[in-house]
Structure formats: structure tokens, C-alpha cells
Structure 1
Amino acid sequence: MKPIETSRLRLRRWQDADRAPFAAMCADAEVMEFFPHVLSRAESDALVDRIEAHWDARGYGNYALEERSTGAFVGMTGLFDVFPEAPFAPSVEIGWRLARPFWRMGYAREAAEAVLAAAFAEHDFPEIVSFTAKLNTRSAGLMQRLGMTRNPADDFDHPGIAEGHPLRPHVLYRLKREAFEGR
């Protein structure tokens, strides 16, 4: 997938200059509220390395988001192969993570809609999934606004989170190609 521009955002591959603001975002407890823990700089850098390796191997991945008017790093949105232990694997997930100064501006939806359009145009995905901790109603709300649907029978306990942890129960949303193209 090639870089994407929306009215306010540039979605592009990662640059070294993205690492420091990405690490700051991943160290922010509010941003990481629905993840098991905040990330250290080393963990954040390793995640960027995995994202770039995924791009190289698969031809799609998580984009770095840049505000077009200022050049500011906004966060990330994109596609990633679902972890193999997921009950719905193999599949492709859309996800997002934005720095707090860019919350409630519609950027996550703007970027996700652009990624979905490019994904279905450039790849033969029958569907794209998204999932989050059951407690994360903001992300689930965005999934719904994107036209994704949930079947409670698909909800699952995330195998990478300890039993009894409040973030272990997850919801799964799906967007079928036909539903997206029919919008």
C-alpha cells in the first residue's frame, strides 16, 4: 500500500524522527489504558521495527500518521496480521493509536476510513477485523462508526493477557468486503 493523504493527514511509512514521539505516546498511561502496560523506549523502538518488517514482508502495515498542516506526529493506524493464537486467525486487523493531543478530533476515523478503502482496493481481503478490551468502549464505538459489526459469540479472552486481568475479555468486530463496498 502506498502513502495516503486525507484532507488533514498524511499516512506514510515510518521515519527515524517518528521514534521519539511514538515512544512518548506509548509511555503515556492514558493512551495505553487498555493495553497491559506502557512501553519503554526499547519496547517502542522494537514495535516500530516489527511494523516496518511487516510492511516489507506483507506489503501492508501500520502507517505513521502525520498532521499535514503542521507535520506533527499524530499516531498510527493501519493493518497487521492477527496473532496466530487468536481464535479468528488467520485474518488481518485494523488498529489505531493516537497521541492524546489529537484525541476527539476525528483523526482516528479519518485515518481508519482511508486505510480500509486502500486495503480493500489493493488487496483481496474478504474481511478486516478489529478487536479491543471489552472495557474500551471508545475504540468499540469507532469500530461501529466504521461499519464494523460484532457477534458476541466471537468475543474472546486474549491469550496474551493473564486470566483474571480486567483487560483479558475482548470484543471482536468484522467488516466484510461486500459490506464496505456497498456503503
Structure 2
Amino acid sequence: MTEIRTPRLVLRRWLDDDAVPLSEIHADPVVMERIGDGTPRSLEETAQDIETWEEEWDEEGFGMFAVELLGSGELVGAVGLSVADAPAEIAGQVAISWRLGRVFWGQGYASEAAHATLEFAVQDRGLDRVVAVCRTNDGASVNVLDKLGMQTEGTAQHPAHGYDLAVYGIDLTQYQE
């Protein structure tokens, strides 16, 4: 079982018990406004997300981690890697992304978990490049991407929903851990 510990977090594979707390995060419209079309997701849709992420772990050797607080075991959200299918500018590349419960915002958890994920990408999976996209008006995600050392590489439009995205990338051969 793949598990990463940071000073405050545990990044791990998904358990059946994670569907309910993640669905509570997915039910928050403020969290979901940054993801896809912004529609909150049901428990059933969340369980399908977890199943899809676990399949990617099995197929690719990486995926989205469940992120929990080290002390309490409370689920913070999801952070990890996936093979992007859209937008066309990053399709087929390995992308980093995250979604955290709103109560965990502004505490550095996204940066801490994303940094550990990039270390995992380099050290454990030997990846040499990772990309990311975020809405152009998502200042919090831009801040995390900047802390990771990712560089702006252009813009794109979400293919299904038409909103503007900022495209970022990082050459992991020069990544400062």
C-alpha cells in the first residue's frame, strides 16, 4: 500500500470508509465551483470517483491520494496525479490536482500534500514532467502552483464548459525537493 507521511498529513490509497466524508466535501458548492462544471456530487458519484482513481492506481502506478490529518485521521480531501484527458494542451500528460474540504483551506495543507505528491512523482515513479490547470480566477490554486515552482505555460479553455484555464508545468529533473 502506497502511503506518504508529511509533518501533518498522511497521503494514502482509498478505503471504503472514505466515500462518505469525501461526498461531504463534494456536496459543498463552494468547493465544487473549482471542479468541472461546478455541480456538487452525490455519494454515488463520489464512490465512482474513488473507484476510477483506484483503477488509475492499478493501471498507471499513481493516482489520487486520500489525504487525512496525521493526528485525527480526519479526511482532508484528495491530492494526486492523473493522466489528463483535457484540455487538449495537456491531454496525455501527467497532471497534479487537489480538492480539499473548505474547513481545511488556508492552512497550507494543499501545498504540503502537493509537494509530497511531486516528490513521489520524481522519487518513486521517475516522472520527469507534471502539468496542472486551474481556473484563471482561482488565486488559491495559483498560489499553491507557485509554491510548487510550477511555471505558467499558457492558457486554455475548458472543452466542455468554456471557462478560461491557466496551464502550468514543471520539469521534475530540476525539481528542488
Give the TM-score of the pair, scaled to structure 1: 0.90
Q: Is the 8 A contact 2:61 2:125 kept in 1?
A: no
> What is the CA distance between 1:84 and its match in structure 2?
5.4
Distance 1:2 1:24 in 2: 24
1:10 correspondence with 2:14 = no
In the alignment, which residue of structure 2 is the partner of 1:34?
34
**Structure 1 residue 20 corresponds to structure 2 residue 48:** no
Are the structure 2 counterparts of residues 96 and 85 from structure 1 closer, same or farther at C-alpha, using a change threshold of 3 Å?
closer
Deviates more, 1:80-89 or 1:117-126: 80-89
Matched AA of 1:73: L
SS in 2 for 1:11: strand
Q: 2:47 aligns with which of 45, 48, 56?
A: 45
Matched ranges for 1:18-167 at <5 A: 18-35=18-35, 36=37, 37-83=39-85, 86-151=88-153, 154-161=154-161, 163=162
C-alpha separation in 2, matches of 1:141 and 1:101: 18
Q: How many pairs were matched up?
A: 175
Alpha-carbon distance between aligned partners in 2 of 1:160 and 1:42, rounded to the nearest angstrom: 22
Contact 1:3 1:11 in 2 (8 A): yes
Judge conservation of contact 2:87–2:157 (CA < 8 Å) in 1. Answer: no
**Aligned to 1:172, which of 160, 163, 167?**
167
Q: 1:139 to 1:7 in 2, by over 3 A?
A: same
Separation of aligned partners in 2, 1:65 and 1:88: 25
Tell me the CA shift for residue 2 of structure 1. Answer: 2.2
Q: Is the partner of 1:14 in helix, strand or coil?
A: coil
Quick one: distance in 2 between partners of 1:85 and 1:93? 11
Distance 2:95 2:63 in 1: 10
Q: Return the alpha-carbon distance in structure 2 between the equivalents of residues 85 and 156 of structure 1.
A: 7
Moved over 3 A (4+): none
Identity of aligned pairs, percent? 33
Q: CA RMSD in A?
A: 1.5
Shift in Å at residue 141 of structure 1? 1.4
> Which range moved further: 106-115 or 132-141?
132-141
Q: Distance in 2 between matches of 1:88 and 1:94?
A: 11
* Residues 89-147 of structure 1: per-residue CA shift (max 9 Å, x gap): 22101111111111111111111111101111122322101101112121011101110
Q: Is the 8 A contact 2:130 2:171 kept in 1?
A: yes
Structure 2, unmatched stretches of 5+, are: none
